[in-house]
Amino acid sequence: MGLFSAILTAPLAPVRGAAWVAQQVAEEADRQLYDESRIRRDLLQLELDHDDGLIDDEQRSAQEDILLERLALAQRRAQEERRAAIAESEQPPTTEETIDG
């Protein structure tokens, strides 16, 4: 990037920074929303709340459906990530890698 383009794009730096922060927050929220151990804890807490009479059968059923749907999606995502990692590790080396190696 040349000096001229750096000067022209400098006013956009705060916007880029804010967009980066927003992206990081969204990614962390997504990680927490689909964290399997967190979902399992929420299911356990839901059961305890039901046993203690804090929520009724209808509320428990509705919340349980949501949590189980999130758990299934989290498991599918984890499986897709494992498949992608395996596929990536099985890729043949590129020409540059064979020259360097």
Low pLDDT (below 50) residues in the chain: none
pLDDT score of 65: 97
What residue numbers bound the domain in which 43 lies?
36-83
In a domain, residue 94? The reply is no
In a domain, residue 40? The reply is yes
Q: How many of the other CB atoms lie within 10 Å of CB of 39?
A: 22
In a domain, residue 60? The reply is yes
In a domain, residue 61? The reply is yes
pLDDT score of 95: 61
Q: How many of the other CB atoms lie within 10 Å of CB of 10?
A: 9
Q: Count structural domains, the chain.
A: 1
pLDDT score of 1: 56
Q: How many of the other CB atoms lie within 10 Å of CB of 46?
A: 19
In a domain, residue 49? The reply is yes
In a domain, residue 44? The reply is yes
**C-alpha 59: how far from chain center:** 27
pLDDT score of 6: 75
Q: How many of the other CB atoms lie within 10 Å of CB of 68?
A: 12
- Rounded distance between C-alpha atoms, residue 44 and residue 6, angstroms: 54
